[in-house]
Amino acid sequence: MKGEKISVMYSEEQVNERIRELAAQINEDLNGESVKLVCILKGASFFACELAKRLTIPVYMDFMYVSSYGNGTESSGNVRITKDLESPIEGENVLIVEDIIDSGRTLAYLSDEFRDRGAKKVMICTLLSKPDRREVEVPVDYIGYVIPDRFVVGYGLDYAQKYRNLPYIGAIE
Ligand code: IMP
Ligand code: MG
């Protein structure tokens, strides 16, 4: 498992510019209200930090670790929280920050979960979306890039835990 060929899909400069645009939109939409960013580990960590740095509204950050277990690489839809939030989200504006939406199962589960916990508003912001792979519809408020069905790495995204640290988004050839 070495030497996958990776081609640049979005450069570091392009991604940073896109995050700046997303943040501007969120600042405008939240209009001075505070927001709790829920970063879904590990993949969304780079994106969540870069996004948070560009928000001008009051920001609180929390982190959650989820795993969807099933047979092999396909997510089964059985989403399990393996590291929960530090604090309650009742009455808060929650912005779930995710690296990529594939089947949609993780985010469908989490939006329901956060609504059950009494969040005032649950919004979703994802760096990438692969609509061709969707199995469950989930309303997404902010999307960095809509991409075709290709396996991507970098900017937090991994292939077997590798390549998260690439500063750009690349596709495995
Ligand atoms: P979903 O529940 O099927 O939407 O799963 C989304 C999760 O699958 C993401 O948080 C990633 O961890 C993983 N994933 C899906 N596609 C890719 C990819 O192209 N590269 C890296 N991880 C991916
Ligand atoms: Mg993930």
pLDDT for 78 equals: 84
Q: 1: buried, middle or exposed (CB in 10 Å: 19+, 13-18, 0-12)?
A: exposed
Q: What is the pairing mode between strands 121-129 and 142-146?
A: parallel
Q: Determine the distance separating the centroid of ligand 2 and the alpha carbon of 104, expressed in angstroms.
A: 11
List the pLDDT tens digit at each of the 173 positions of the chain.
568 999 999 999 999 999 999 999 999 999 999 999 999 999 999 999 999 999 999 999 999 999 986 555 555 668 999 999 999 999 999 999 999 999 999 999 999 999 999 999 999 999 999 999 999 999 999 999 999 999 999 999 999 999 999 999 999 99
Which of 29, 99, 102, 132 is an active site residue?
Answer: 102
Cβ within 8 Å of residue 36, ≥6 positions away: 59, 60, 61, 62, 89, 92, 93, 94, 95
Mutate to test the pocket of ligand 1, among 38, 99, 125, 151 (most ligand atoms within 8 A of CB): 99
